[in-house]
Amino acid sequence: MIYITGDIHGTMSVNKRLNRRNFPEQKHLTKEDYVIIAGDFGLIWDGSNEDRYWLK
């Protein structure tokens, strides 16, 4: 399955838009699924623990 969302402006937007309440499908995602963030991607990857969490 392919899921597409609009702009993400930092961690707060990710947590709000892609949380279990707003995106319950995430519970069943596999490595065969894609979540595409279209538009301006406002997260800066700095190698923090939080970055590693989201990259998993």
How far is 21 from 50, CA to CA, in rounded Å?
Answer: 20
pLDDT at site 28: 93
pLDDT in tens, 8-55: 766 666 777 788 898 899 999 999 999 888 876 666 677 788 778 877
pLDDT at site 1: 95
pLDDT at site 10: 66
> In sequence order, what are the beta bridge partners of 5?
37
pLDDT at site 42: 61
In the chain, domain spans: 2-55
